[in-house]
A and B are shown apart, each in its own frame.
Chain A
Amino acid sequence: MAPADPSLVLAAVGAPVVAGLATLLIPRAQNLARVLLAACGPAASLLLLGVHLTRYGVAPNHAGTTSINWVPSLHLDLSFLVDGLGAFFALLVAGVGVLIVFYSRGYFGNDASSLARFFPALGFFTSSMLGVFLADHLLLTALFWELTSISSFFLIGWERDDETAVKRAMQAFFTTGFGGLALLGGVLLLGDTTGVWRWSDLVATASEIGSSGTVVAAFVLIFVGAASKSAQWPLHYWLPGAMLAPTPVSAFLHSATMVKAGVFLLGRLLPVFGLLTIWLPLVVAFGAVTMLLGAGLALRQHNLKLIFAYLTVSQLGLFVCMYGFGGVTDGHGGSAIDWDLSQIASHGLYKAPLFLIAGALAHRLGTRRLPELFGLWHRGVSGSRVLVVVLLAASYALAGGPGTVSFVAKELFLGAAHHAAASHPALLVVVAMAVLAAACNVAIVVRLVATVFGWRLGVRDDLPGRDVVHGKDRWGPVLWVPAAGLVLVQYIGGLLPPVWNSVFRRLEVNVNDEAFTDGLPWLWEPFLHPGAPLAMSLAAIGLGVVLGCSQRMRGDIVDVHDRIYPVTYRLILQYGHRAFHGIQTGHLRHYLVFVFTLLLLGISWAAWVDPAMLRLPDGVAPFESLTGLLLGAVVCAAAIALPLVTERVVRVLVLGASGFAVVGLYLLYQAIDLALTQLMFEIISVLLFLLVLRLLPRLDRRPLISPRPRLALAALVGITIGWMTLLAGHAADQRTNEAVTLGAFFEEHSLHGTEVTDGRGGEGRNIVNVILVDFRGFDTLGEITVLATAALGVWSMLPGRRRHRNDEGQPGTIAAEVER
Chain B
Amino acid sequence: MRIDSLILRTAVRLVLPLTVLLAIYAALNGHNAPGGGFIAGLVTTVGLCTYRMAFGERAFHRLFPVHPRWLVVAGLGLTLVVAIIPLLAGEPLLRSASTVLRLGGQELHLVSATVFDLGVLVVVVGVAVGMITRLGEELGP
CB–CB B36/A768 < 8 A: yes
Shortest Cβ gap from B49 to chain A (Å):
6
Shortest Cβ gap from B141 to chain A (Å):
8
Residues of B near A688 (CB, < 8 A) are 131-132, 135
Shortest Cβ gap from A681 to chain B (Å):
6
Q: A599 an interface residue at 8 Å Cβ cutoff?
A: no
Shortest Cβ gap from A162 to chain B (Å):
47
Tell me the nearest residue of chain B to A690, going by C-beta: B1
CB–CB B109/A763 < 8 A: yes
Q: A785 an interface residue at 8 Å Cβ cutoff?
A: yes
CB–CB A765/B31 < 8 A: yes
- CB-contact partner of A790 in B69, B75, B127, B139, under 8 A: B127
Q: A777 an interface residue at 8 Å Cβ cutoff?
A: yes
CB-contacts of A26-46 with B (<8 A): none
- CB-contact partner of A781 in B80, B96, B111, B138, under 8 A: B80
Shortest Cβ gap from A364 to chain B (Å):
65
Residues of A near B37 (CB, < 8 A) are 772-773
For chain B, give the interface size range. Answer: 35 or more
CB–CB A673/B36 < 8 A: yes
Q: B76 an interface residue at 8 Å Cβ cutoff?
A: yes
CB–CB A681/B42 < 8 A: yes
Q: Which of A369-377, A553-561, A810-818 contacts B (4 or more CB under 8 A)?
A: A810-818
CB–CB A784/B123 < 8 A: yes
- CB-contact partner of A794 in B76, B83, B131, B139, under 8 A: B131
Q: A499 an interface residue at 8 Å Cβ cutoff?
A: no
CB–CB A683/B79 < 8 A: no
- When each residue 750-792 of chain A gets 1 if its CB lies under 8 Å from chain B and 0 otherwise, what string results? 0000000000101111101110111001101100110110111
Q: Which of A199-207, A630-638, A795-803 contacts B (4 or more CB under 8 A)?
A: A795-803
What count of chain A residues pass the 8 Å CB interface test? Answer: 46
Q: B140 an interface residue at 8 Å Cβ cutoff?
A: yes
Q: Which of A490-498, A566-574, A691-699, A735-743 contacts B (4 or more CB under 8 A)?
A: A691-699
Q: B113 an interface residue at 8 Å Cβ cutoff?
A: yes
- CB-contact partner of B83 in A692, A766, A777, A815, under 8 A: A777
Q: A672 an interface residue at 8 Å Cβ cutoff?
A: yes
Q: Which of A769, A812, A815 has the most CB of B within 10 A?
A: A769
CB–CB B79/A673 < 8 A: no
How far apart sit A787 and B71, CA to CA, in the bound complex (Å)? 12
Residues of A near B140 (CB, < 8 A) are 811-812, 815
Q: A684 an interface residue at 8 Å Cβ cutoff?
A: yes
Residues of B near A791 (CB, < 8 A) are 68-69, 72, 126-127, 130-131
CB–CB A765/B33 < 8 A: yes
Residues of A near B31 (CB, < 8 A) are 762-766, 769-770, 773
Q: A676 an interface residue at 8 Å Cβ cutoff?
A: yes
Interface of B is mostly: helix
How far apart sit A29 and B32, CA to CA, in the bound complex (Å)? 72
Residues of B near A774 (CB, < 8 A) are 94, 96, 113
- CB-contact partner of B42 in A672, A680, A766, A781, under 8 A: A680
CB-contacts of B51-85 with A (<8 A): 68-69, 72, 75-76, 79-80, 83
Residues of B near A277 (CB, < 8 A) are none
Q: Which of A680, A774, A800, A812 has the most CB of B within 10 A?
A: A680
CB–CB A769/B30 < 8 A: yes
Tell me the nearest residue of chain A to B137, going by C-beta: A801
Shortest Cβ gap from A782 to chain B (Å):
11
Q: Assuming the A-B contacts A784-B120, A785-B76, are A773 and B49 also in contact, with contact meaning beta carbons closer than 8 angstroms in the complex?
A: no
Tell me the nearest residue of chain B to A671, going by C-beta: B34
CB–CB A795/B134 < 8 A: yes
CB–CB B111/A777 < 8 A: no
Residues of B near A760 (CB, < 8 A) are 95-96
Q: Which of B36, B123, B128, B136 has the most CB of A within 10 A?
A: B36
Q: A614 an interface residue at 8 Å Cβ cutoff?
A: no
Residues of A near B130 (CB, < 8 A) are 791, 794-795
Shortest Cβ gap from A394 to chain B (Å):
64
CB–CB A680/B98 < 8 A: no
- CB-contact partner of A800 in B39, B76, B134, under 8 A: B134
Q: A677 an interface residue at 8 Å Cβ cutoff?
A: yes
CB–CB B94/A764 < 8 A: no
- CB-contact partner of B111 in A695, A763, A780, A815, under 8 A: A763
CB–CB A680/B134 < 8 A: no
Tell me the nearest residue of chain A to B42, going by C-beta: A680
Q: Assuming the A-B contacts A673-B34, A681-B42, A684-B49, are A691 and B113 also in contact, with contact meaning beta carbons closer than 8 angstroms in the complex?
A: no
CB–CB A769/B49 < 8 A: no
Residues of B near A787 (CB, < 8 A) are 72, 123-124, 127
Q: B20 an interface residue at 8 Å Cβ cutoff?
A: no
Q: A629 an interface residue at 8 Å Cβ cutoff?
A: no
- CB-contact partner of B139 in A683, A684, A781, A815, under 8 A: A815
Q: A11 an interface residue at 8 Å Cβ cutoff?
A: no
Q: A687 an interface residue at 8 Å Cβ cutoff?
A: yes
Q: B8 an interface residue at 8 Å Cβ cutoff?
A: no
CB–CB B39/A677 < 8 A: yes
How far apart sit A762 and B26, CA to CA, in the bound complex (Å)? 18
CB–CB A691/B132 < 8 A: yes
Shortest Cβ gap from A806 to chain B (Å):
15
Q: Assuming the A-B contacts A773-B31, A774-B96, A794-B131, are A691 and B1 also in contact, with contact meaning beta carbons closer than 8 angstroms in the complex?
A: yes
CB–CB A781/B132 < 8 A: no
Residues of A near B134 (CB, < 8 A) are 794-795, 798, 800
Residues of B near A792 (CB, < 8 A) are 69
CB–CB A766/B127 < 8 A: no
- CB-contact partner of B39 in A676, A684, A687, A794, under 8 A: A676
Shortest Cβ gap from B137 to chain A (Å):
5
Q: Which of B76, B80, B134 has the most CB of A within 10 A?
A: B134
Q: B12 an interface residue at 8 Å Cβ cutoff?
A: no
Q: Which 3 A-B pairs have the closest CB atoms?
A: A680-B42, A764-B31, A672-B34
* Selected A-B contacts with CB under 8 Å, 9 pairs: A684-B49, A688-B132, A691-B132, A764-B32, A766-B35, A773-B116, A784-B119, A790-B131, A801-B137
Other than the given A680-B46, A792-B69, 15 more pairs (CB < 8 A) read A762-B31, A763-B113, A765-B33, A766-B33, A766-B35, A769-B30, A769-B31, A773-B120, A774-B113, A777-B96, A781-B94, A784-B124, A790-B127, A791-B72, A794-B130
Q: Which of B's residues lie within 8 Å of A, judged by CB? A: 1, 26, 30-39, 42-43, 45-46, 49, 68-69, 72, 75-76, 79-80, 83, 93-96, 98, 109, 111, 113-114, 116-117, 119-120, 123-124, 126-128, 130-132, 134-140
